[in-house]
Amino acid sequence: MAAPSDLAFDPWDPAFVADPYPAYAELREQGRVRYFEPTDQWLVAHHADVSALLRDRRLGRTYQHRFGHEEFGRTPPPPEHEPFHTLNDHGMLDLEPPDHTRIRRLVSKAFTPRTVERLRPYVERLAGELVDGLVAAGGGDLLRDVAEPLPVAVIAEMLGIPESDRAPLRPWSADICGMYELNPSEEAAAKAVRASVEFSDYLRDLIAERRKNPGDDLISGLIAAHDEGDRLTEQEMISTCVLLLNAGHEATVNSTVNGWWALFRHPDQLAALRADHSLVPTAVEELMRYDTPLQLFERWVLDEIEIDGQVIPRGAEIAMLFGSANHDPAVFADPSRLDLARRDNPHISFSAGIHYCIGAPLARIELAASMTALLDRAPTLRLAAEPVRKPNFVIRGLEGLEVEVA
């Protein structure tokens, strides 16, 4: 991969990916906005700027609602990537109003704090069962045994994906998410395309089945909304389900294992948490700030903007560094300190503006449930081996987290 410029930013360097926070501090010192040639993006690293840009309607997750590719100065993706783009481009995360508003309104009914609160007993019971399994085995991989099965089961249950069909969900999701890394390789693209085709075919069949035999699940709900007011096309339904299934677990898995790894590296903080479980809500927020699970989000410049005197023209791309924003000393006192009792914590890990994470209330319930179950049922939990980090920077996490329970 091309060597980056003079900037303290090298998302392909394993040392940077392992701990990007010191480099972010340097980057923030270097100014409010810097051009990064290897990805042809403008990097924004300060909390105030990231927060403002996420709400700025001159930027968009897509430009295709306003401009053609050539008109916007961009080359269209190669035709062989088409299945990935068809799937991705019809999900609400990659749409702008009015399509975004229409789809988000429909889906958000399933994610209001009150609706999600009703899932809490189920989530807590499942977290307890998973942790009991880990304890009975004397330990294991926290990612494989607890962090991953919990959110996958919850979102699959909400959508009504039968248990027997769930095994390929994780590999499909991982392959599709490979496309969200910076400058994905052809190999990553080929995997994403294959997964997009298989995942879409699976959901098309499931939607057809639910159309015949509706159930008490989100897919049936979306079909009903579709049939009543013709408000979701078949493709939008498929894309919405894939987005919910992928977004519904990728970041939660990484938040759980990144969080526990941070706890193991801060035994004083872990001891304080073990002594006082009322710290769980602030601990969940602090761990998401301290080691941000999704490091970078992009926006297209739809209408020229100016940041600190630098004009950024239409057609350019901005890369907002969430992990850096979450460590900005202008907002967070002593940002490199893990403080599970931190109260003033306006972290940006769930984004802001119209694409603010629709699943945030559910994610918070899941993270608190697994943390509480691990504190209650595995009080002697400890690290068994130094974890191996995934090479990914954008969706940043560990390959696994081996633990022991004495």
Q: Least CB distance from residue 177 to ligand HEM, whole Å? A: 12
Whether 58 and 303 have beta carbons less than 8 Å apart is answered as yes
Residue 88 makes contact with ligand HEM by CB under 6 A: no
Q: Does 60 bind ligand HEM (CB under 6 A)?
A: no
Least distance (Å) between residue 105 CB and ligand HEM: 10
Helix, strand or coil, per DSSP, at residue 43:
strand
If one asks whether residue 370 binds ligand HEM (CB under 6 A), the answer comes out as no
Measured from the CB atom, the residue of 196 and 246 that comes closer to ligand HEM is 246
The answer to whether 93 and 351 have CB atoms below 8 angstroms apart is: no
Pairing relation of β-strands 41-44 and 33-36? antiparallel
Contact letters (x/-) for ligand HEM, 154-173, by CB under 6 A? Answer: -x------------------
Q: Which of 104, 289, 342, 396 binds ligand HEM (CB under 6 A)?
A: 104
The residue of the chain with the least Cβ separation from ligand HEM equals 359
CB of 249 to ligand HEM, least distance (A): 7
Q: Does 251 bind ligand HEM (CB under 6 A)?
A: yes
Separation CA 393–CA 244 (nearest Å): 21
Can you tell me which of 7, 223, 294, 319 binds ligand HEM, judged by CB under 6 A? 294
The reply to whether 350 sits near ligand HEM by the rule CB under 6 A is yes
Sorted by sequence, the CB contacts under 8 Å of residue 213 that are 6+ apart come out as none
β-pairing verdict for 296-301 and 317-321? antiparallel
| CB neighbours of residue 188 within 10 Å | 16
Nearer to ligand HEM, 102 or 266 (CB): 102
Residue 112 CB, nearest approach to ligand HEM (Å): 13
d(CA 219, CA 159): 5
Q: In what order do the strands lie in the sheet with 41-44?
A: 33-36, 41-44, 317-321, 296-301, 59-60
- Choose the binding region for ligand HEM from 33-41, 74-82, 248-256, 274-282 (rule: CB under 6 A): 248-256
The alpha carbon of residue 196 and the mean position of all alpha carbons in its chain are separated, in whole angstroms, by 18
In whole angstroms, what is the distance from residue 342 CA to residue 345 CA? Answer: 6
* 357 interacts with ligand HEM by CB under 6 A: yes
CA 282/CA 101 separation, integer angstroms: 31
Regarding 238 and contact with ligand HEM (CB under 6 A), the answer is no
Q: How far is the CB of 205 from ligand HEM (least distance, A)?
A: 22
The residue range among 134-142, 188-196, 240-248, 373-381 that interacts with ligand HEM, by the rule CB under 6 A, is 240-248
Paired tokens of 162: 């039968």
Cβ closer to ligand HEM: 362 or 369?
362
Q: Which of 9, 63, 297, 332 binds ligand HEM (CB under 6 A)?
A: 297
Angstrom distance (rounded) from CA 221 to CA 14: 44
Which 310-349 residues touch ligand HEM, going by CB under 6 A?
Answer: 349
Question: Applying CB under 6 A, does 363 fall inside the site for ligand HEM?
Answer: yes
**Is residue 255 a contact residue for ligand HEM (CB under 6 A)?**
yes
Structural element, H or E, at residue 171: helix 169-177
Among residues 81, 347, 355, 396, which is the contact residue for ligand HEM, using CB under 6 A? 355
Q: Confirm or reject binding of residue 358 to ligand HEM (CB under 6 A).
A: yes
- Distance, CA of 1 to CA of 94 (rounded, Å): 27
How many residues of this chain bind ligand HEM (CB under 6 A)? 25
Of the CA atoms within 13 Å of residue 104, those in its CB half-sphere come to 17
Concatenating the DSSP letter of every residue in 278-296 gives GGHHHHHHHHHHHT-SB-E
List of residues contacting ligand HEM (CB under 6 A): 61, 92-93, 104, 151, 155, 243-244, 247-248, 251-252, 255, 293-294, 297, 349-351, 355, 357-359, 362-363
